[in-house]
Structure 1
Amino acid sequence: MESGGIYENVKHRDVQKTTKPQSHSQDEGKDLKHIGSRCLVLITVSLALICVLLLVFIILQQTTITAERDLIKSYKSTVEEFNQTINRYKNLCGPVCYFIANELKSWSDSRQYCRDHGADLVIINTEEKQRFISSYMKDVDRAWIGLSDREQEGNMTWVNNSTLNQGFWMEGEPNNHGGVDEDCIEMRLSKDKLNNWNDLPCSIQRKGICEK
């Protein structure tokens, strides 16, 4: 009887020894499976983020390329339009060039500067030329032109002694403001591109627009 009990106890212990490692192995398998699932999720999320970032990068690149193309196209269009304007003007008036005195001077000194460089203060006798000069001199605020009534008050003449036929005056000009003789004419280029002439005392310092 006692030996039988001992045998059963030994057998029971053997069963316990064989079943415990199996349970532990199953737990480890579950843990590995769980870790594998988490890794798969992380990899999937990472790939998705990479795809999103690549898509954003491609969109930004495409937008940048499109903007650059539009800018280049606009620049080429502006240059072409300017060249066409130059050519139209040359065909109308013959070969001509314009430049601005590099220093502020009185009307007389500005004219002398132009003459020293083989030119004279600009003569503007058509609306087309007035608009052209106003656009051409867009980097200058105020500048002398070749018009004055220094020889005879109220009789506006150009530097080539021709009489003024068409003026492009600002409102209220010319006026000899404050009773001061304002015998020389400037263009106020920051104002209206058509009507921007103003009379001033000839001693005022301005840059001159030269025509050659």
Structure 2
Amino acid sequence: MEFRNPRPGYREENSYWVGATDRRIEGDFQWTDSLPFTYTNWYEGQGEMNKQPNDDGLSAQDCLELRRKYSRSPPHPPSISESFKWNDRNCDQPNYYICQRLASGGRTNLYFSIIHSSSTSISMESEPTERINTCLRS
């Protein structure tokens, strides 16, 4: 995946929420609008290291983010994938987010905003699902 029209705040090292979670059933990720996955792009890891999704059901990695940079155990530097890949992450992690909405003419338009922006009603104090739903309504 690549961003065709990067917005202010976009940086390759940032991570982005995309509106999917496995909070209902561990390991069964679903979009917040309940549509089924027709595509996946999980980070494949390096050997068995960092292969996604990697939540054991106890670590609260229930939300889906896009990212390029993945940690490795010391003394190895972080790995950088060639493109954005999917990663399960704790929903309370402060990330940017990507929203999808219908544009005029009925076509789908993707855009993203910064969670800490003063121009949005989304705040980190709200529940992750509430932030995602607000994103979808905006």
TM-score relative to the length of structure 1: 0.33
Structure (1/2) with the larger strand percentage: 2
Structure (1/2) with the larger helix percentage: 1
